[in-house]
Amino acid sequence: MRPVNRVKSSAMAALLVLAGCGQHSAGDVTEARLLADKGDSGNWLTGGNGWRGMYYSGLRGIDASNAKRLGLAWQYDLNQTRGQEATPVVVDGVLYVSTNWGHVAAMDAETGKELWTYDPEVDGQWGRYACCDVVNRGVAVANGVVYVGSTDNYMHAIDAATGKRLWKVDILDAEARAKHMPYTTSGAPQVAGDVVVIGNGGADYGVRGFVRAFDLKTGARKWTFWAVPHDPKNGPQERPYLDAALKTWDPQSDWSKGGGGTAWDGMAYDPVLKLLYVGTGNASPYNYLDRSKGKGDNLYLASIVAIDPKTGVPRWHYQTVPGEYWDYTATAKMILADLKIGGKTRHVLMQAPKDGFFYVLDRATGELISAKPYTYQNWAKGIDLKTGRPIFNPDANYMKSPKLVYPSMIGGHNWYPMSYSPDTGLVYIPVVDAPMIYVDIAKRPIRSIPGAFTSAGLMVEDYDPKALQSMFGDLPVMADLARTAGGPGKPASQGFIRAWDPVRGRVVWQTRARALTEGGVMSTAGGLVFSGDITGHLNIRRADTGALVRSIDTGGAIMAAPMTYTVKGQQYVAITVGMGGAGNWLFAPDTAGYKYGNEGRVLAFKLDGGPVPLPKPVPPARFEAPPRPPAFLAAEAIRGELLFTRKGCSGCHVPGRGLVPDLRRISDATHENFNKIVLEGAYASMGMGSFADIVTPGEAKAIHAYISREQLALYKQETNPTQAKSAPARQGPRQ
């Protein structure tokens, strides 16, 4: 992590912020202003552009007739090389964007000139618990203040004019902080009335999910919504609603791993109904039999919950997957819209979560209006509209034997924002059609340990019987399952942008993505749909047909949703660039990360702008000198290979070019300091915290032996490939 602590003088920053902004002061976003904004003001006041979170703009200056003239207006270097998932916010000519760990930058939206930057001074030890990279999904701006959560679980309030800290408060309780419970914060805060709300991640590592609200002005803690009950042996539940939730868990449930239900992304707030909507995540542990004896709905896992923002008490909930055990979170972004259904205008909440169904709910009552599959899925035979419950398919239950299940853990749609255009009446969804072989690992050689998942999912394209033999034993049934993927009636792994009619519940058009998924989506009144991809292209399509209008090579992989705004009558389109996240640690040869590296940037485009300067290509990796690892025994390296997967090393350190180092190429100095790094946290400031709580010195020695063996094999392969017979570096199950 490289600091970006460059705060300009207060007077200069304030002068730049206020220039050309009329009557508004810096960061002047109020509830009244959000209610009045129709999306065509030239601002982009929230991550999703307004309280409805539609990722839609009413601006028309860029359309299909002139989009080919789009060129670069300016670019800004974020000084980070990890994943970029934040959509910028623009308020009166100032662009605010967050980046890794919770850093924030403000810049002149016309020129990209830096106004200020903010360093959250993160304790890098917490990066170890970021299952899907140390990303940050955005800021909230309200009443002159910029709010951001940092990876180490603090909420920060920053003066929008100067970049100076107003307050910083702990999101965690004292016990969770002292014990370093594996929480992380990556989602954008949500302003809801007089409070700012934040959730957390960590269910994959064994925590109890919650959402916490803080006073906008002072940071004082106002309330906590717990997503699941605590062990009743530890005393009364914190809130009465948890007593009712407890009845949906088996009395002999395993509470040792927290239960899960973390709210790590999707939230929305309706200022008319005064309701805060929160999407909750997966179970911890995944295994329904281990967690709750296979009994009960396990509230509030995988649920959309409407909460009173003054009290933190739920008003209604809808659980998408009762008894969740496929990692089918309900944390995707939610869109608040008004749809004409059955001749009546309905005020709805729409979500396309991981499980593959597109849900339309009455946002005042939680009534299920419709639920149709937007992608191929086989875990349910459908959703009963009378009860709102899924009709489970027993063929997707992997508790007794491995199963091929659609969608995968990645989900039919993950966190990447979808967009709704009131002009076309369509929702544009970045969709993944992909299966996964699910395995109950509790009864397999790879055991559940702190810091590891409690079930495994193997993407079919990653299936390698030889590599998996050491992890799962002889499971010929898995090979049989892998061969059925993409067979009759089952799609092969592929990504799409799909235009979905939420009223009729059907696909209107689709266009295949260059990779397994495209990034977040924006639609505009100019009749266009914008999205990026991992090959580094910003793609512009017609909103009515999906026809490609323009594709701009940016030289950087794109995950975040684009946005648009105006300054002095000129319309701009901006995007953050940078790859990261689960399943994306390794850059494939056709990706921008592989070709150019992963320098995070903000790029702004305008009509008749210039070409995008591509980064310098990354030269092929090679050894400068023969590696000199310590001596090791062959048997020790074999043991280390098992531990490399079981202790979670393979979750980040994959062979090849990627976000984090390929350990086959570590230096002699790293060999010498191996134990200091792994057991003492010498690289904690870079996100590689100490693993001493789950790795013994003997196990560290074995892991080091395995890495050394693989390094020597790679060196031999590269220097004398005709004679090399290297053991391939193994990648663990994708999670």
pLDDT level of residue 314 (50, 70, 90 thresholds): very high
* 371-405 tens-digit pLDDT: 999 999 999 999 999 999 999 999 999 888 888 89
Nearest-angstrom CA–CA distance, 230 and 56: 40
* 327-344 tens-digit pLDDT: 999 999 999 999 999 999
Cβ–Cβ under 8 Å, residues 164 and 151? no
Nearest-angstrom CA–CA distance, 489 and 472: 29
CA torsion, ordered 406, 410, 415, 417, to nearest 10 deg: -60
Residue 232's SS3 state is: helix
pLDDT of residue 43: 98
Cβ–Cβ under 8 Å, residues 179 and 257? no
pLDDT of residue 586: 72
More confident residue, 492 or 579: 579
* 223-280 tens-digit pLDDT: 999 999 999 999 999 999 999 999 999 999 999 989 999 999 999 999 999 999 999 9
Residue 607's SS3 state is: strand
Nearest-angstrom CA–CA distance, 118 and 104: 5
* 644-692 tens-digit pLDDT: 877 878 777 878 888 888 999 999 999 999 999 999 989 987 778 888 9
Determine what percent of the chain is predicted with pLDDT higher than 90: 74
* 70-101 tens-digit pLDDT: 999 999 999 999 999 999 999 999 999 999 99
User: Strands 314-319 and 140-142: what pairing?
Assistant: unpaired
Nearest-angstrom CA–CA distance, 343 and 57: 26
For 154-186, b/e burial (b = at least 16 CB within 10 A) is bbbbbbbbbbeebeebebbeeebeeebbbbbbb
Q: Tell me the average pLDDT of the chain.
A: 89
pLDDT of residue 197: 98
171: phi then psi, degrees, rounded to nearest 5 = -75, -25
Angle at 349 between CA 348 and CA 355, to 5 degrees: 135
Residue 578's SS3 state is: coil
Contacts with 11 (C-beta within 8 Å, 6 or more apart), sequence order = none
pLDDT level of residue 354 (50, 70, 90 thresholds): very high
Helix 697-719 with 634-646: angle, nearest 10 deg: 110
* 140-176 tens-digit pLDDT: 999 999 999 999 999 999 999 999 999 999 999 999 9
285: phi then psi, degrees, rounded to nearest 5 = -75, 165
Query: In this model, does residue 9 exceed pLDDT 80?
Result: no
- Give the single-character DSSP code of 39: S
| Neighbour-count burial of 625, counting CB atoms closer than 10 A to its CB (0-12 exposed, 13-18 middle, 19+ buried) | exposed
Residue type for position 471: M
Cβ–Cβ under 8 Å, residues 432 and 409? no
pLDDT of residue 11: 37
- Tell me the CATH number for domain 634-719: 1.10.760.10
Catalytic residue among 327, 433, 440, 533: 327
Nearest-angstrom CA–CA distance, 555 and 64: 23
Residue 539, strand partner residues: 531, 551
Q: How far is CA 584 from CA 128, 183, 245, 400, 439, in A?
A: 16, 21, 36, 30, 22
Token digits of residue 636 = 């020790």
pLDDT of residue 205: 86
Enumerate the H helices of 52-210 as residue ranges.
174-178
What are the boundaries of each domain within the chain? 634-719
The predicted model gives 534-557 an average pLDDT of: 97
pLDDT of residue 733: 31
Strands (E), 29-153: 56-57, 70-77, 89-91, 94-98, 104-108, 114-118, 140-142, 145-150
Cβ–Cβ under 8 Å, residues 660 and 652? yes
Query: In this model, does residue 15 exceed pLDDT 80?
Result: no
Instruction: State yes or no: is 170 an active-site residue.
Output: no
Place of tokens 């648009």: 564
Residue 335's SS3 state is: strand
CA torsion, ordered 110, 114, 118, 121, to nearest 10 deg: 130
72: phi then psi, degrees, rounded to nearest 5 = -70, 130
Token digits of residue 382 = 């459908």
The predicted model gives 27-52 an average pLDDT of: 96
Cβ-based neighbour number of residue 610 at 10 Å: 11
